[in-house]
Amino acid sequence: MKKKRIIGIVIGVLSILLVIDIVASFYFYNLAVERNKKDFLQGNADLEVSAEAMDVFIEGDWREWVDSQDFEQWDMTSYDGIDLKGYYLPAKEPTNKTVVLAHGYLGNARDMGLYGQYYYEELGYNIFTADMRGHGHSGGDYIGFGWHDRLDYIDWMDRIIEETGKDTEIVMHGVSMGAATVLMASGEEELQPNVKAIIADSSYSSVYDVFDYQLGRMFHLPAFPVLPSTSIVTKARAGYSLKEASALDQVEKTDVPILYIHGNDDTFVPTKMTEELVEHTNSDAELITFDNAGHGETFVTQKDRYVSKLNEFLAKYIKE
């Protein structure tokens, strides 16, 4: 009888823990992946940027520049039936050079005007950017963290080539989740050889890795068993698992040259993730890091050094 009682207690405890884990899995899916308002990021110290950067992000003249441009709106239905919105701006003078910009988590296409203005005004590129699924004016009830978006971006670039010609040279430039997106696209066989260079600013190595990091940092919880079960929920509801959504695996297959950029004071996505990406990259890869720089702010706070390295890198792979 005593043995049966102990077994019953153990089963009861395990059942309670299982229920807690299931509830937690749906909670974290809703918190991070489902398309909804993300109040949990408000006041997050890891996302604090310098006053200089904040002024530019919120009130910079690049916003007026974006509003004054005549972007063409492009519509596309994704391979899985989601309505997506993209935005294309031809250069002032005809060119075969196009930059494809990818925004970060909870951002939108307009945010990338900060970078687009430089490519347009200083480098003379055509610009394309898009609202990723679950963001901006695009459809989708979940956030893909770059995984499904990688295929969307490949489809967008196919259209760019159709519109601008087979000699088009494409640079992909992403920040944070956008950086992970362009890296995830880099390893796909369907990626056209027109993509000549990739700029990955503040990328994470995989969705699982960044969830693991933030789960510990924000909630002081271990990865197991919450992340494996959250991954199952994500697979069931959004169609991808946290581990398969890996930029690390994709760059091991790429032949596109990549410039990695990261701030050494980034506590939202640690610099070590980019360092790991560099180590695993199959193609030519360069890394530049910036001291006294947090997540995704180096283009603003240390712009001269940023664009100097950018221009040096592009000169190697983009024809004059």
> Which CATH number covers residue 123?
3.40.50.1820
Question: Which tokens sit at 236?
Answer: 């069931």
Give me the pLDDT at residue 10, please.
54
Does residue 85 share a domain with residue 22?
Answer: no
Does residue 262 share a domain with residue 130?
Answer: yes
Question: Which tokens sit at 22?
Answer: 């299931």
Does residue 108 share a domain with residue 26?
Answer: no
pLDDT of 320 above 80: no
Does residue 249 share a domain with residue 175?
Answer: yes
Give me the pLDDT at residue 204, please.
98
Does residue 155 share a domain with residue 23?
Answer: no
Give me the pLDDT at residue 196, please.
98
Determine what percent of the chain is predicted with pLDDT higher than 70. Answer: 90
How far is it, in rounded angstroms, from Cα 118 to Cα 127?
A: 10
Does residue 161 share a domain with residue 189?
Answer: yes
Give me the pLDDT at residue 39, please.
78
Does residue 183 share a domain with residue 133?
Answer: yes
Does residue 42 sit within a domain?
A: no
Tell which residue, 158, 138, 139, 133, has the closest CA to residue 240: 133
Does residue 25 share a domain with residue 141?
Answer: no
Does residue 58 sit within a domain?
A: yes
Does residue 264 share a domain with residue 168?
Answer: yes
Does residue 88 share a domain with residue 180?
Answer: yes
How many domains would you assign to the chain? 2
Question: Which tokens sit at 112?
Answer: 């990338």
Does residue 202 sit within a domain?
A: yes
Does residue 193 share a domain with residue 118?
Answer: yes
Does residue 196 sit within a domain?
A: yes
Domain range for residue 163? Answer: 50-206+245-317
Does residue 195 sit within a domain?
A: yes
Task: Give per-residue pLDDT as tens, 124-156.
Answer: 999 999 999 999 999 999 999 999 999 999 999
Task: Give per-residue pLDDT as tens, 238-262.
Answer: 999 999 999 999 999 999 999 999 9
Task: Give per-residue pLDDT as tens, 274-313.
Answer: 999 999 999 999 999 999 999 999 999 999 999 999 999 9
Does residue 179 sit within a domain?
A: yes
**CB-count burial class (<10 Å; 0-12, 13-18, 19+) for 37:** exposed
- Window from 13-17, 66-70, 244-248, 293-297 with minimum mean pLDDT: 13-17
Does residue 45 sit within a domain?
A: no
Does residue 44 sit within a domain?
A: no
Band (319; pLDDT cuts 50, 70, 90): confident
Give me the pLDDT at residue 24, please.
87
Does residue 131 share a domain with residue 10?
Answer: no
